Amino acid sequence: MSGTALRTVHVHLPHGPTPRAIRPLASRAGPWLPPELAIRAEGLGKRYRLGELRRRWYARSHNHLWALRDVSFELRRGEALGLIGRNGAGKSTLLRILARIAFPTEGRALVRGRVASLLEVGTGFHPELTGRENIFLNGAILGMSRAEIRRKFDEIVEFSGVGPFLDTPVKRYSSGMHVRLGFAVAAHLEPEVLVVDEVLAVGDAAFQKKCLGKMDAAARQGRTILFVSHNLHAVRALCRRAILLEHGRVVLDGPVHDVVDAYLRTVDEVAGDTAEVQWPFERAPGDEATRLLAVRVRNAQGLVSFQQYLDEPITLEMEFSVHQPGLEINTSFHLYNQQDVCLFATADFHRPGWEARSMHPGRYRAACQIPANFLNEGLHRVSAMVVQQRTYFPARRDKVVSFVVHDRGTLRHGYAGVWIGAVRPVLPWVVEPIGGVP
């Protein structure tokens, strides 16, 4: 391809030999896709033109934004690929090209078979039609016959959970109902490639779990999955491989745990969440006897970090000051998960002789360590307090620092599903023969 206008080629390969009618579209490079591959992206780029209308006449000044640039990868049939990156990295643009909704400015994508996409709430639905009618409409868009759709109809309705509203126009559906029905249609009509964007965030936790299970089953049946989500747990659970996009370019392509870890190292702490808080003395929580000066979370390397790992110990630390002699002082942490459930409260009451010990005036550090392989994945918040005379809490801050726990897969041994539970301890097990005939 040469010249100022790049020739855009976007080829759909059905099963079997490539039809003669589409061969001329890419005759220079050949649109051949090996049978083991579902997708091949070659130098994909997407450019948008941003223009302002000048005041005089109808002349325009244009700026260009490359949403994607030089994106190349191959995806095998039956593989689940996670796309991760910050907002604006180009993930959704790439999915739109692979779903045949948009065309690239340069490069080409070869996709084998039917593609079902769920890229935004209500995609492919006609608002005036009922849920029942939209199931048949979506099936027709995917190229399925009414007989094929009827065979899957009951499964779709049961999975979506919208049965009581099946004959209601979808314009009256909530966003969650839209997503449940849209995903049920896309997943059950047996496309060769299933493309899913962040819309699953609209559904509740139980439905998200069902969706992940369905996508995992689809991949095991030989279907190909492309999955975009900011829920890194979901990406780790579903995918063995991931691609990290930054500013429209592929910066890393590899095993999902390696790619997610690399992404986390580049991510700033979540707005409103921090692993360390310090107060100047005059504004520190407390009274004339004690003040809470700092609270922080440290990783296994001793560094203050918002990002923590399930298989490493986590240290909770506070600094405080004592200004009056003879006081019985204790320190305590409370830990909450993302559902605001208090997982535990811990205090330094366990140190020997605490009942009779008073602290001299000065500055102190108190720390406790959460053992490795104890917490589950997700966001956790820490409350810290300095206790006077066992019952008085003048220096206290609730949920003042936080951290997120990530699973690197070191203990999963191939299990890719959701690991339920507020905590996830590694407990000693005994499995032994007891004799007898089964």
Q: Which stretches of 338-391 are assigned E, i.e. beta strand? A: 342-347, 362-370, 378-388
Q: Is residue 435 part of a domain?
A: no
Residue 371 confidence (pLDDT) above 90: yes
Residue 322 confidence (pLDDT) above 80: yes
Residue 24 confidence (pLDDT) above 50: no
Q: Is residue 212 part of a domain?
A: no
- Which residue matches tokens 């896709």? 33
Q: Is residue 393 part of a domain?
A: yes
DSSP string covering 158-178, please? HHHT-GGGTTSBGGGS-HHHH
Which residues, in sequence order, are CB contacts of 56 under 8 Å at separation 6+? none
Q: Is residue 387 part of a domain?
A: yes
> Contacts from 252-257 at CB under 8 Å and sequence distance 24+?
253/73, 256/82, 256/409, 257/408, 257/409
Q: Is residue 194 part of a domain?
A: no
The pLDDT assigned to 345 comes to 93
Mean pLDDT score, 289-304: 95
DSSP 8-state class, residue 375: B
Strands 106-112 and 9-13: parallel
Alpha helices by DSSP H, listed for 239-370, are: 256-266
Residue 56 confidence (pLDDT) above 80: no
- CATH code of the domain in which 316 resides: 2.70.50.60
Q: Is residue 251 part of a domain?
A: no
Q: Is residue 395 part of a domain?
A: yes
Q: Retrieve residue 251's tokens.
A: 């910066």
- Which residue matches tokens 């499995």? 431
| Confidence band, pLDDT 50/70/90 cuts, at residue 204 | low
Residue pair 427/378 in contact (Cβ under 8 Å)? The answer is no
Q: Is residue 24 part of a domain?
A: no
Say what the pTM is: 0.60
Range of the domain at 305: 276-406
The pLDDT assigned to 203 comes to 61
Residue 86 confidence (pLDDT) above 60: yes
Mean pLDDT score, 172-185: 85
The pLDDT assigned to 418 comes to 65
Angle between helices 175-188 and 205-220 (to 10 degrees): 10
Residue pair 270/401 in contact (Cβ under 8 Å)? The answer is no
How many C-beta atoms surround the C-beta of residue 391 within 10 A? 6
Q: How far apart are CA 262 and CA 182, in angstroms?
A: 32
How many C-beta atoms surround the C-beta of residue 137 within 10 A? 16
Q: How many domains does the chain have?
A: 1
